[in-house]
Amino acid sequence: MSTATKNHIGRKISRIRELRDMKQEALAAALGISQQAVSSIENSETIDDVKLEEVAKALGVTAEAIKNFSEEAVFNIIGNTYHDQSSSLNYYCTFNPIDKIVSLFEEKEILFERLLQAERDKVTYLEKLTNS
């Protein structure tokens, strides 16, 4: 990418709009201008800061993000974070869900028995107190 392209704000706006899967008409509607005006903005090498802020807000990014946008950086991020999940990652269950349910049920029964025994001990203690 040449230096002229790197500093061409209009092209950066265009690429961000395309990456967000937004048509010029949608951006125009968000800005309250015509599609031809959006085309003119995207063909402009510079844009005033007030208009840049409006465009950034409509695109859901900051003005700084537009100014510093680099297509190479986007591709590097995608290239470094996307992995083919079909070959390297295993997202299958590593346990039998039914065994887990049975185990949880048995654990619940044990806890219930302990609670019941604690209540029996309380009743016995209270009976002993009242009889004394």
DSSP assignment letter at 21: T
Contact at 8 Å (CB) between 17 and 55?
no
Predicted confidence band at 61 (pLDDT cuts at 50, 70, 90)? confident
Q: Sketch the domain layout of the chain as residue ranges.
A: 3-82, 94-131
- Mean predicted confidence (pLDDT) in 104-114: 96
* CATH hierarchy code of domain 3-82: 1.10.260.40
- Mean predicted confidence (pLDDT) in 25-54: 92
Which range is least confidently modeled, 68-72, 86-90, 114-118, 127-131?
Answer: 86-90
